Amino acid sequence: MTTLDLRSRIVASRQVPLAVMVAAMSALALVCAVGLLVDDRTVLGVSVWLKPLKFAVSFALYGATLAWMLTLPHRGSRWTRIMATVFAVTGIIDVGFIAVQAARGTFSHFNTSDDAVNTIGQYVFMTGVPGLFVANLVIALILLFQRVGDRPLTRAIHAGMFLAVAGMALGYLMGFQGRQTTTDALTLVVLGGLLAATAVAVRTVRSRADAGPQAGPA
């Protein structure tokens, strides 16, 4: 078993809700990718499956990175586990509604129709989106005021959490646009990817630096 395989199993066993969310989002991303190819329905000029695909990818990236970060030793781990569970559950419900609306051939945000499914979904948004933001904010605040790993890794995690919170906060500005757009998830996709890339890059550099002295001269 490789170190990566072992680390993945540790992450999955310690952060079960996030692991379930990542698996669900990965599966949804595959379904949406197929939908892009076989379903020609559109909303606002783009495929109905584009929006849930972007959300699924962003939540899969961010959830996997968050689960990995929370396995690192840190104070307040009980609270970060609770908030991670809140994030995972609300994420699955919110993105699930976006996928349902896509399958129905309509949009999710700014939908004012009075059918039963949409009415329930809008209530889900009103309660779920603040839950996502608050859970992520609490985790960020807990990690922000302590050292998690060495200095470069800690700085990468602090910067990544700041970017993630800022990106989610930007979502609230959607309400001031006054119209539906097709780029709702783009910010979170980019920031989630940056967070994942930053953390993994720092870990890779650190691992190589640690392995160098152990290898010794050839």
> Could you report the per-residue pLDDT of 130-143, keeping only the tens digit for each?
888 899 999 999 99
pLDDT for the residue 88? 95
Q: For residue 209, what pLDDT band results from cuts at 50, 70 and 90?
A: low
Report d(CA 154, CA 144) in Å as an integer.
Answer: 9
Output the pLDDT for position 131.
86
- Whether pLDDT at 172 is above 70: no
User: Where does the pLDDT of residue 206 fall: very low under 50, low under 70, confident under 90, or very high at 90 and above?
Assistant: low
Residue 121 has what pLDDT? 78
Angle at CA 86, nearest 5°, toward 99 and 154?
Answer: 110
The Cα–Cα gap between 34 and 5 comes to 28
Q: What is the pTM of this model?
A: 0.76
pLDDT at residue 120, as a whole number? 83
* The pLDDT of residue 38: 95
pLDDT, residue 218, reads 45
> Which residue in 50, 54, 51, 63 sits closest to 24, CA to CA?
63
Which of the four pLDDT bands, split at 50, 70 and 90, describes residue 160?
Answer: confident
CA distance 67 to 124: 24
pLDDT digits (tens, 9 = 90+) for 19-33: 999 999 999 999 999
